[in-house]
């Protein structure tokens, strides 16, 4: 896992309601890493929280895509890395030199 991925996951962990479990906890729930007591408490929370159920479904789909899906397009990957960098630093980055040259040549 790259440093950028770790930063993005740290930011995602903070994006939940105060009484909702973190993304990491939901991932542990899917992986079966929680104790029976923790699993039971989380299961009760999931029955009452549609937002957490949606997050759990998204995590399950992402895990499936990571294992069986085809890799995302390079352009999308670059855009997501720029977005993550912007979220982490607050600095907006422009396209790379290579992308600017490619765009200029494609326009001619």
> Could you read off the pLDDT tens digit of each residue along the chain, which spans 108 residues?
667 677 777 776 666 566 888 888 998 999 999 999 999 999 999 988 888 898 899 999 988 888 888 888 888 888 888 888 877 777 666 666 677 777 778 877
Cα separation, 5 vs 105, whole angstroms: 32
Number of C-beta neighbours around residue 21 at 10 A: 22
Cα separation, 21 vs 19, whole angstroms: 7
What integer pLDDT is reported at residue 70 of this predicted model? 85
Does one domain contain both 13 and 39?
A: yes
Does one domain contain both 95 and 55?
A: no
Does one domain contain both 56 and 95?
A: no
What integer pLDDT is reported at residue 64 of this predicted model? 87
Report the number of distinct structural domains present in the chain.
2
Cα separation, 64 vs 83, whole angstroms: 23
Domain extent, residue 83, equals 72-108
Does one domain contain both 38 and 48?
A: yes
E strand or H helix that includes residue 42: helix 36-48
What integer pLDDT is reported at residue 80 of this predicted model? 83
Report in angstroms the alpha-carbon separations of 83 from 21, 71, 87, 102, 107.
25, 19, 6, 21, 25
Residue 87 makes CB contacts below 8 A (sequence gap 6+) with 8, 11
What integer pLDDT is reported at residue 43 of this predicted model? 92
Cα separation, 52 vs 21, whole angstroms: 8
Does one domain contain both 47 and 7?
A: yes
pTM greater than the 0.75 cutoff: no
Does one domain contain both 62 and 108?
A: no
Does one domain contain both 26 and 53?
A: yes
Number of C-beta neighbours around residue 5 at 10 A: 11
Does one domain contain both 60 and 79?
A: no
Does one domain contain both 32 and 62?
A: yes
What integer pLDDT is reported at residue 15 of this predicted model? 60
Does one domain contain both 52 and 105?
A: no
């Amino acid at each position: 896992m790259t440093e950028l991925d770790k930063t993005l996951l740290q930011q995602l962990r903070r994006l939940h309601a105060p009484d909702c479990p973190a993304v990491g906890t939901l991932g542990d729930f899917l992986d079966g890493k929680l104790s029976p007591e923790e699993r039971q408490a989380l299961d009760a929370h999931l029955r009452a929280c549609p937002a957490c159920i949606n997050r759990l479904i998204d995590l399950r789909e992402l895990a499936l895509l990571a294992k069986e899906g085809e890799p995302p397009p390079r352009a999308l990957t670059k855009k997501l890395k720029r977005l993550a960098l912007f979220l982490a630093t607050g600095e907006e980055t422009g396209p790379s030199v290579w992308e600017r040259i490619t765009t200029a040549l494609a326009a001619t």
